[in-house]
Chains A and B, each alone.
Chain A
Amino acid sequence: MTEQRTPLVEMKNISISFGGIHAVDNASVDLFPGEVVALLGHNGAGKSTLIKILSGAYKRDAGEILINGEPVHISNPRDAKGYGIETIYQTLAVADNVDAAANLYLGRELRTPWGTLDDVAMEAKAREVMGRLNPNFRRFKEPVKALSGGQRQSVAIARAILFDARILIMDEPTAALGPQETAQVGELIKQLKREGIGIFLISHDIHDVFDLADRVSVMKNGQVVGHARTEDVTKDEVLGMIILGKVPPKAIAGPGAMQTA
């Protein structure tokens, strides 16, 4: 049934190279509304690079991006945000020296009728959003630098969902977190999924994401090894895809699949 619907995002035959190295080579992935797709692979497999093309941080050399079936042109992070694509980066990408509200609205500040920053309104909205995400969060006046890893993470997530994202990209969302905070992020992902947001989860550790994902796409050496529905494959089979590029019978092989001949 899902196959009949138009994908929310479709990245077709994307390639990019840096100084002769094909970081991403002819890769295609897609994402449907309310779906969580885990993008797996070793460090350096090209998953972060592929997703940075979608979020506008890199420009692709070849291939096309379709959103709701329409080809779109994304050449910088502002373009991506214009299409409702929000990204939570592995490095969190927060400005350490300003407070939570300033980070939430960075690049999209609320302004008073006179064109000055409306800090009070931004802080009020920040308190509201953070209250929903992480009710224990109290430190609104301090620079983000003073916060713990989990608190910084909630700031980064709050920033992504504040502006009605339709497509959420999470690059190693739980890498810096303790078990309790990881569980919180898991809950949040389920909640966002119910709201119909499509989510790309990027990880090199399948245990983090296997239970959250509807589908997995595995990358190796810049190429897509294959796609599979999580209910059709086991963790071991996915590990085989990640490590060897071996595609299990129920998965759809991609250009990077191990040649069996």
Chain B
Amino acid sequence: MANTTIATPSSSTLKTQGSALQRFLQATEIDTRLLGMIGALLIIWIGFQLTTGGLFSGLFLTPRNLWNLTVQAASVSVMATGMVLVIVTRNIDLSVGSILGFVGMIMAITQAKILPPLIGFDNPATWIIALAVGIALGTAIGAFQGMIIAFLNVPAFIVTLGGLLVWRAGAFLVISGATVAPMDSTFRLMGGGAEGSIGATASWVVGVIACVVIVASIINSRKQRKRFGFPLRPMWAEYFLSVVGCIMVLIAVWVLNSYYMPVNLAKKYAEAHNIPWPEGGLQIPLGIAIPVLMAVGIAIAMSFLTTRTRFGRYVFAIGGNPEAAELAGIKTRWVTVRIFALMGALCAIAAAISTARLNAATNAQGTLDELYTIAAAVIGGTSLAGGMGTISGAVLGAIVMQSLQSGMVLLRIDTPLQSIVIGIVLVMAVWLDTVYRGRAK
């Protein structure tokens, strides 16, 4: 709008103004797709904020809702990072929800039934043994499915469709459909909640470390480019990226630190820590939840894996042209096996998060999660035709999905209607993406 009011008669000024945004994007090298997704997320958030009581009194953009949102998105977000690699190589994994259910059940049985008679109840090692068993099992299941896909040439769709049925039934069979509870107290920290959060001080520390890492990586990348005499980003762009990155991290920490323990929990906490209960009540900030930290850590690790390692390069090369990758001497079959094994391991971590959060394992756990995971990856810009996708996009996709769900719950929309909305959003997101790609060509 500003453009039209100050537009001068000469078209050349208009042109330079039009390209000012382009020049800005070019200088900062910001991915426009990612920018678009963040924009869409903001629209969704503000939309829910307005419909749940207005801009300043809405229920959506409250520390409490946002804190819950991060915790609820963690499990799907962890799996979506792996699903990106699966879809990039033109495969699909329909079994992730069932693997989550089965592995979660095995981890629960390990810590609730098998370990207590052996090493005693609430042994400090219980959680780590249970988690290790789960990750090993998840990896093995994934690798097994991957081998059938890679070496027996059965399409991934079919293998994982079989897996969907097999592992779901397995979760039922191992304990005849019973619910296993409770979980080990340390294991439970992975589910978040009042205990499973790191508190205000530690959250600020994490935030500051993240800022240091952002600045350091920008400096390092500049150094690398200098070393080979490549074109550098203008200095103002470097400053801009550093400042915006740090501000966003610190705002996130501030929001999560603004959610205080509910009164009765705070009372319990005060009793347990011998803090006298003051007149106006205690305001104990929860800070970042442990599952959220895990999800962020995994997202960073997976981003690193896809962009900085040989394995990641091969994944994308196979997705772009499987034949060329094979001819270039890449062991494409083994890469496929490793992708599915990794997917299995991520399912196990997601299973730990969701089992810990529920403080129980049921045989229905993770039902339909495969669809949410695939939807998150696809909304995040992963192309089903293969060869394209980013981890950050998938994480954003998971947050978009979770935002829609939480928002509709706040609006008290019926469950079937929620599904309808999510289904429509998925189709629209992919359509918009197709349009964008068509233009980009």
Counting CB contacts under 8 A, is A188 at the interface?
no
Q: Are A93 and B323 in contact, CB atoms less than 8 angstroms apart?
A: yes
**Complex: how many Å from CA A55 to CA B329?**
11
Spell out A's residues near B (CB within 8 Å): 55, 57, 76-78, 81, 87, 89, 91-98, 102, 106-109, 111, 115-117, 120-121, 123-124, 143
Contacts of A57 in B (CB 8 A): 327
Complex formed: what's the CA distance from A106 to B325 in Å?
8
Q: From B304, B317, B328, name the one whose CB has the most chain A CB atoms within 10 angstroms.
A: B328
Please pick, from B228, B320, B330, the residue contacting A97 in the complex, using a CB distance under 8 A: B320
Top 8 A-B pairs, shortest CB-CB distance? A97-B320, A97-B387, A95-B320, A93-B324, A107-B328, A78-B329, A107-B329, A95-B317
Contact yes or no, B310 A96, CB < 8 A: no
A143 to B388, CA, bound (A): 11
From A81, A94, A107, A116, contact of B309 by CB (8 A)? A116
Q: Looking across the interface, which residue of chain B has its beta carbon closest to that of A145?
A: B320
Q: Which residue of A lies closest to B310 (CB)?
A: A109
Chain B residues within an 8 Å CB radius of A121: 228
- Residues in chain A near residue B327, CB distance under 8 A: 55, 57, 77, 87, 89, 93
Instruction: Write the nearest CB–CB distance from A199 to chain B, whole angstroms.
Output: 18
| B interface, size bucket | 20 to 34
Complex: A91 Cα to B322 Cα, angstroms: 13
* Chain B residues, CB < 8 A from A143: 320
Q: Would you call B319 an interface residue if the criterion is a C-beta within 8 Å of the partner chain's C-beta atoms?
A: yes
Which residues of chain A are near B317, meaning CB under 8 Å? 95, 97-98, 102, 106
> Does B187 interact with chain A (Cβ within 8 Å)?
no
Please judge, given known A-B contacts A102-B317, A106-B330, A123-B230, whether A95 and B325 are in contact too, CB under 8 Å.
Answer: yes
* B320/A93 in contact, CB under 8 A: no
With A77-B327, A107-B328, A117-B308 as contacts: A97 and B313 at CB distance below 8 Å: no
How distant is the Cα of A98 from the Cα of B324 in the complex, in angstroms?
A: 12
Cβ–Cβ contact A120 & B224, under 8 A:
yes
Complex contact B309–A115 (CB within 8 A):
yes
Which of A76, A81, A95, A107 contacts B316 (CB under 8 A)? A95
Q: In the assembled complex, which residues on chain B have CB atoms less than 8 Å from the CB atom of A117?
A: 307-310, 312-313
The complex places the Cα of A120 from the Cα of B387 at a distance, in Å, of 22
Question: Is the Cβ of B310 less than 8 Å from the Cβ of A98?
Answer: no
B326 at the interface (CB under 8 A from A): yes
Given A109-B313, A117-B313, A123-B228 in contact, is the A97-B388 Cβ separation under 8 Å?
yes
Say whether A93 contacts B328, CB under 8 Å. yes
Q: Could you tell me the dominant secondary structure of chain B's interface residues? A: helix
- CB within 8 Å of A: which B313-372 residues: 313, 316-321, 323-330
Pair B320/A98 contact, Cβ less than 8 Å:
yes
How far, in whole Å, are A96 and B323 apart by their CA atoms in the complex? 11
Given A98-B317, A106-B328, 20 more contacts at CB 8 Å?
A76-B329, A77-B328, A77-B329, A87-B327, A89-B327, A93-B323, A95-B318, A95-B320, A95-B325, A96-B387, A97-B316, A97-B320, A98-B320, A106-B330, A107-B325, A108-B329, A117-B307, A117-B310, A120-B224, A143-B320
For B304, list chain A residues within 8 Å (CB): 116
Residue-by-residue, is B1-37 near A (CB-CB < 8 Å gives 1, otherwise 0)? 0000000000000000000000000000000000000
Q: How far is the CB of B434 from chain A (nearest CB, A)?
A: 16
Q: CA–CA, A107 to B225, complex, Å? A: 24
Assess the A120–B228 pair: CB atoms within 8 A: yes
Interface residue? B227 (CB, 8 A) = yes
A124 touches B228 (CB 8 A): yes
Among the listed B308, B318, B387, B388, which residue makes an inter-chain contact with A116, where contact means beta carbons less than 8 Å apart? B308
Partner of A94, one of B308, B316, B324, B388: B324
| A102: B residues at CB distance < 8 A | 313, 317
Residues of chain A within 8 A (CB-CB) of B388 are 97
Bound form: Cα–Cα A77–B320 in Å: 19
Determine the distance from Cα of A128 to Cα of B321 in the docked complex, in whole angstroms: 25
Q: Is the CB of A77 within 8 A of B309?
A: no
Q: Tell whether, in the assembled complex, residue A95 and residue B329 are in contact, meaning their CB atoms are under 8 Å apart.
A: no
Name which residue of chain B comes closest to A89, CB basis: B327
Query: In chain B, residues 277-323, which have Cβ atoms closer than 8 Å to a Cβ of chain A?
Result: 304, 307-310, 312-313, 316-321, 323
Contact A91 B319 (CB under 8 A): no
Contacts of B308 in A (CB 8 A): 116-117
How far is the CB of B440 from the nearest CB of chain A, in Å?
9
Contact A93 B310 (CB under 8 A): no
CB-CB under 8 A from B224, the residues of chain A are 120
Query: A57-B327, A81-B329, A95-B325 known; A111 and B313 CB under 8 Å?
Result: no
Contact A120 B316, CB 8 Å, known A89-B327, A93-B327:
no
Q: In the complex the two chains form, is B321's CB within 8 Å of A93's CB?
A: yes
B384-440 with Cβ < 8 A to chain A: 387-388
What is the distance, in angstroms, from A102's C-beta to the closest C-beta of chain B?
6
Which residues of chain B are within 8 angstroms of A94 by Cβ–Cβ distance?
321, 324
Alpha-carbon distance A142/B387, docked complex (angstroms) = 14
- From the candidates B230, B307, B310, B325, name the one contacting A120 in the complex (CB within 8 A): B230
Q: Which residues of B contact A115 (CB under 8 A)?
A: 309
B228 touches A77 (CB 8 A): no
Q: How far is the CB of B338 from chain A (nearest CB, A)?
A: 16
CA A12 to CA B15, docked complex, whole Å: 66
Considering the chains assembled together, what is the distance between the CA atoms of A132 and B3 in angstroms?
46
